[in-house]
Amino acid sequence: MTVLQMLFLMLSGFGAGIIGALFGLGGGILIIPILALVLKVPMHNAIATSLLCVIATSSAAASKNVARGIANVRLGMTLELWTVAGAMVGGLIAGYLPGRTLMLLFATAMLLMSIPMSRGVEDEGHEQDSSAGNLEIEPLAFRDRLRGEYFDTAQNVTVSYRLTNLPAAMGVSVLAGGLSGLLGVGGGILKVPVLSLYCGIPLKAAAATSNFMIGVTAVASAVVYYGRGDVSPLITGASVLGVFLGSRIGSVIANYVHPRRLRKAFALLMAIVALQMFWRAIGGNVR
Amino acid sequence: MKQRNPLASATLFVGVLVSTGLLAAGLAQAILHPERLRQDLPPLSSLLHGILTADPVATINAGLLVLMFTPLARVIVVTGEFVRDREYSFALISIGVLLLLTMSVVIATL
């Protein structure tokens, strides 16, 4: 590997890190095609690098989001139980399904979800002033203990919210974990829109909570790839370092971008990635 | 509802800082001394020796291992925070996550 290639990988990781922090993704969706298509890196090495980038994005962004209270730690840990379980099952099923089928299923799901995401549901399910503190006198039901609030610097308000649909959140967590085990991505691309549109979690909190979760999900798969010798230190190291830097900047930008713009951009990204995956699955050499 | 978890945040921050430092040092060594590069991963037993002797691959490898351990450490710390705050239902959930992660590693190595 040349110095130029290492710098290219660092820049690619930097861009993926910014996008990952903005939209609750791990950056793997961008890293895998760059490594496999541009640098001709074997797919197993590309996925291993992607998983470590997912961990880097999650850890770097979550350290800030947890400190600011944007990531909902109780909700994140509750859903992590389901995500990790899904990742285990997904990893086992992956051995029995052809890659082309998996890619087409994932692309279909993403394309379908980008439509309601682009239309948006404007901040439903949460108030902008927390008067819910009085409720804490009585013992809280489990679902009520998953509520949260954070200060939105873009709108200059305190946003309070409560989870409106725990079964949907658990269901999408299992699915997202399964996809992570199957394809080596973080799973935020499914969790963020469902939490935002159907579970009453504001987009910023959904993205931050997803980011908080996906590192742990990725660790389970990353350890396996590492054990198999699929981690190439120079390729992975250069990519991950770029992601570290990009995700730090992305998490700062996310605090100053209006949620509506964030949602539109996220929907567009979902559609582009879905079309890219369709193209690859139909016409490419998918193993 | 209070949502600050300073120890979890600090754990992630320190993990990121240490792994970033090791990766940056290893990549800098690789750029400055390309003759020291090797394709295989050094054994874990020689990791510390590799870092001390400025072996680029060993240093990068150490950074990647710290990175993989960081989310696990975060789960352990969050579990401790839940116990400290007497939020036992969430502490049990966190222990469940740790058990599942352990199971996945065991399944993967079978």
Q: Which residue of A has its CA nearest to B79?
A: A77
d(CA A94, CA A91): 5
- Residue A54's pLDDT is 84
**Is A69 in Cβ contact with B13 (below 8 Å)?**
no
Stretch B86-99: mean pLDDT: 92
Q: Which member of A80, A148, A231 has the closest CB to residue B1?
A: A148
| Token pair for B59 | 């240093």
CA dist A64 to A68, A140, A224, A244, A247, Å?
6, 28, 28, 13, 10
**Is B60 in Cβ contact with A219 (below 8 Å)?**
no
pLDDT more than 70, % of chain A: 76
Taking contacts as CB-CB distances below 8 angstroms, the residues of chain B near A67 are 4, 6, 9
Q: How do residues A196-253 score in pLDDT, each as one tens digit?
A: 888 888 988 898 898 888 888 888 777 777 877 778 888 899 999 988 788 778 878 8
d(CA A250, CA A264): 17
Q: pLDDT confidence of A127, banded at 50, 70, 90?
A: very low
Taking residue A96's Cβ as centre, other Cβ atoms within 10 Å add up to 6
Please spell the DSSP secondary structure of A79-131, one letter per residue. Answer: HHHHHHHHHHHHHHHHTTS-HHHHHHHHHHHHHHHHHHHHH--TTTTEESS--
Name residues whose C-beta falls within 8 Å of residue A128's C-beta, 6 or more positions apart in sequence.
A155, A157, A158, A159, A160
Q: In terms of Cα–Cα distance, which of A198, A203, A231, A179 is closest to A26?
A: A179
Give pTM, 2 decimals.
0.79
B9 CB near a chain A CB, below 8 Å? yes
Q: pLDDT confidence of A182, banded at 50, 70, 90?
A: confident
- Residue A100's pLDDT is 66
Q: How do residues A162-176 score in pLDDT, each as one tens digit?
A: 888 888 999 999 988
Residue among A6, A89, A159, A240 with most chain B CBs within 10 A, to mutate: A240
d(CA A168, CA A193): 12
Tell whether the model's pLDDT for residue A135 goes beyond 50: no
Q: Inter-axis angle of helices A166-183 and A203-228, to 10 degrees?
A: 30
User: How many Å from the N-terminal Cα to the C-terminal Cα in chain A?
Assistant: 25
Q: Which residue of A has its CA nearest to B98?
A: A81
Output the average pLDDT for chain B. 84
What is the value of ipTM here, to two decimals? 0.88
B66 CB near a chain A CB, below 8 Å? no
**Is B37 in Cβ contact with A81 (below 8 Å)?**
no
B70 CB near a chain A CB, below 8 Å? yes
| Residue A117 CB-half CA count within 13 A | 27
d(CA A21, CA A254): 8
